[in-house]
Amino acid sequence: MTLWMVRAGRHGEQEQKAIDNGFVTIGWNELPDLSSIITKDELKKLYNRVYPSEKKRKVANAVGQVWRFLKGINIGDLVALPLKTQYAIAIGKVTGPYEYRDDFGDIIRHIRRVEWIKVDIPRTDFDQDLLYSLGAAMTVCQIRRNNAEARVRAMLEGKPRRKKAIEEQELRDIEETSRDLILSRIGQKFKGHELARLVEAVIKAQGYVTSRSEPGPDGGVDILAGSGALGFDSPRICVQVKSSASPVGVEVLRALQGTSQSFKAQQGLLVSWGGFKRTVLEEARRSFFTVRLWDSGDLLNEILKNYDQFPDDLKAELPLKRIWSPVLEE
């Protein structure tokens, strides 16, 4: 058996239907039903008819990926779906052959059925070399370096991680790799209540006046934030910060909503380093005008946006430098 990475759109536009309906999918929706394709040469000829203006190198790259999705992935293989809508990775087992579908909307045509094993594994649970491989700038690729499949299976079984030094030669998304490295540093340096201190720095940089609870029982709120010179103005926000590596459940969200009412705050912010279970995302959507959720990826976005306004001592603890890089093209 093999471990594959299959993406669900450049911006994650296909991932919700993929998870809700139990499949993985690829783009190239202009291609017709591929069920009758027997050889890779047949696929290449069809691809050239559908995309006649593409250059040879791009054709070779695309045909290779579509062929792997069509014939390379076997029933029983594991598949990893790096999510864009939350900073997590879904892992499932392939349960069916290639299918052509036209009932999931215009952006989904080619699918493979999948039984999702876990859909909300925080990226911080993966060793850096696995993240490097899962950051490959392709839609479909096999993940095989450093015994990747066995290690992912061990993760799913709850076995401890084994760190390894890695040399990774595959083309990678430089931005995603940098973000993973920064998150790893934050996870090492800002454990427990220290993560609340980092979140407070972000909120202060956004212009709020804050009050942070001391370590220990916090009464359901880690940070109080208000607008205006003294923090008396609206919006008034209750912030709860969870530094655990595990996704939090809906009970944590409901507790924050109750605490916000007790403090007469109009809004609540729940920050969870380990992300959120699917039930939390669904309930938070129904509370869109009163609650916001930040997982580790959202927190990193806010850190990068507000880093210049951080105090010097915090910058010394988390030194970051902005660099420019060319965009990697498929």
pLDDT value for 36: 96
pLDDT value for 162: 60
**pLDDT tens for residues 246-255?**
999 999 999 9
Helix (H) or strand (E) holding 246: none
Do 151 and 230 belong to one domain?
no
What tokens appear for 17 in the block?
A: 């239907």
Do 252 and 288 belong to one domain?
yes
Do 213 and 158 belong to one domain?
no
Domain at 212, CATH number: 3.40.1350.10
Cα distance between residue 250 and residue 229, in whole Å: 34
Domain at 148, CATH number: 3.10.590
Helix (H) or strand (E) holding 62: helix 56-67
pLDDT value for 85: 84
Do 62 and 99 belong to one domain?
yes
Q: Which of 109, 122, 83, 110 is nearest to 247 (CA)?
A: 122
pLDDT value for 168: 43
pLDDT value for 163: 52
pLDDT value for 35: 96
Is position 184 within any domain?
no
Cα distance between residue 293 and residue 120, in whole Å: 14
**Structural domain of residue 259, as residue ranges?**
194-317
pLDDT value for 60: 95
**Total domains, the chain:** 2
pLDDT value for 9: 86
Do 109 and 247 belong to one domain?
no
3-class secondary structure for 184-219?
HHHHHHCCCCHHHHHHHHHHHHCCCEEEECCCCCCC
Do 298 and 223 belong to one domain?
yes
Q: Are 29 and 62 in contact (CB under 8 A)?
A: no
Do 234 and 264 belong to one domain?
yes
User: Splitting the chain (330 residues) into consecutive groups of 10 residues, what average pLDDT does each group show?
Assistant: 90 91 95 96 96 94 96 96 91 97 93 95 89 88 91 87 48 76 93 95 97 78 95 95 94 95 95 94 94 96 96 94 70
What pTM value is reported for the model?
A: 0.69
Question: Which of 113, 142, 172 is a domain's end point?
Answer: 172
Cα distance between residue 31 and residue 27, in whole Å: 9
Is position 330 within any domain?
no
Is position 324 within any domain?
no
